[in-house]
Amino acid sequence: MKSNNTIFNKLPTLIYIVTVFIFISAFSGCSQSKNEPEIQKQSHESTQEAEKIPDDLKKLEYSIESIFKILNGPASKNVQENMQNDSSESASQKTGMQTQKNHQTGTQNQSIQQSSSQNQEKNSDNQTSGEKEESKQEGLQQNQVQDIWSEVNFTITNMHYQWNGYLPVAAKKGASKKQVDDFSNALNYLTVTSTGKNKLETFLSANSLYSLIPDFARLYRTENSPEIKRIRYYVRNIILNSEVPNWEQALNDTNNLKSTWAIYKNTIPEEQHENADRLDYSIYEIEKAVNNKNVQLIEIKGKVCMTNIDDLEKSLEESQQNKSSIDK
């Protein structure tokens, strides 16, 4: 009986302790539930915050496109326009190229003068005017070819410096060892291939290097998907492999183009559907040309595809720039 009375006397104290504990727990729970949405919101905003592709990576892409432009290949006009508006380093690169061109022009003028001097000597030997003109044209053509490949080699050499500058940035961003090695090996292969001065082989090597650009671009949370660049790679590879000809690879690239485009077009905003539809039809057209193994048609349809890719990419970029300016 005494024991029961003791418990009874302590009961108010126990009730008070339990009540306080429940109150503290409830308050803590409310506070936590109140803070959690804010934390989740901040986390969501940070993960959704858009990033820009670094200039170092852009310059590598521009340099690859320069090779196609210099050699009169299937180059992206959109990327070339961006390159013209690029930073001071790009301007410096062009200045360097111009200096080299001036030097080559001087060499070329010397060659022309020498050719003229030789022609005068030949003229004294009663050489016909037709033979003199033919000799002069051959000399000019050789100098032009040398000038073009000198510019290609200059561009590729500069790419090694660009890659060295971007490499630490890519590693810090989380690029895998395989990504880094693949790009480095592809750049080395392009360097070696270009020494053979074979346009088609150089184009294939340059496009193989370009295929790795989208993978690095995907390291960044960009507003627009970089897969548009992979679509450009497949179209260009179809054009080039049809010229070899390597129909097995061209067909494989066509299938990859279709599957990549099928996924990518679902991400395109409604206001861009007109550009997307044009590209969609042009992809259908180049597929038919590949199935018919018609090289001439593939070249034409490929150029149409490249133009439509440029138009869509440029329109998406302009739309995003307008949106960013409004948000500011």
pLDDT tens track, the chain, 328 positions? 444 454 445 545 545 554 444 444 444 444 444 333 333 333 333 345 678 899 999 999 999 999 999 999 999 987 667 656 654 444 445 444 554 445 544 545 555 455 555 555 555 555 566 666 666 666 566 677 788 999 999 999 999 999 999 999 999 999 999 999 999 999 999 999 999 999 999 999 999 999 999 999 999 998 889 999 999 999 999 999 999 999 999 999 999 999 999 999 999 999 999 999 999 999 999 999 999 999 999 999 999 999 999 999 999 988 887 776 666 5
Supply angle C-alpha 259, 265, 267, rounded to 5: 120
Distance CA 153, CA 147 (A): 10
Which residue in 61, 63, 55 sits closest to 157, CA to CA? 63
Q: What is the reported pLDDT for 288?
A: 98
Tokens found for residue 266:
């679902």
What's the burial of 274, exposed, middle or buried (CB within 10 Å: 0-12/13-18/19+)? exposed
pLDDT attached to residue 320: 81
Buried b (16+ CB within 10 A) or exposed e, 28-67: eeeeeeeeeeeeeeeeeeeeeeeeebbbbbbbbbbbbbbb
Say what the pLDDT of residue 26 is: 44
Joined together, the tokens standing for residue 230 give: 């992979």
Provide the token pair at 157: 């050499």
| pLDDT at residue 110 in the model | 53
Residue with tokens 């480095």: 184
Tell me the two tokens of residue 328: 């500011």
Omega before 226 within 30 of 0, i.e. cis:
no
* Contact criterion met (CB below 8 Å) for 145 and 172: no
The span from the CA of 291 to the CA of 298, in Å, is 10
CB 104 within 8 A of CB 146: yes
Q: Distance between CA atoms of 301 and 231, rounded to whole angstroms? A: 14
Model confidence, pTM: 0.72
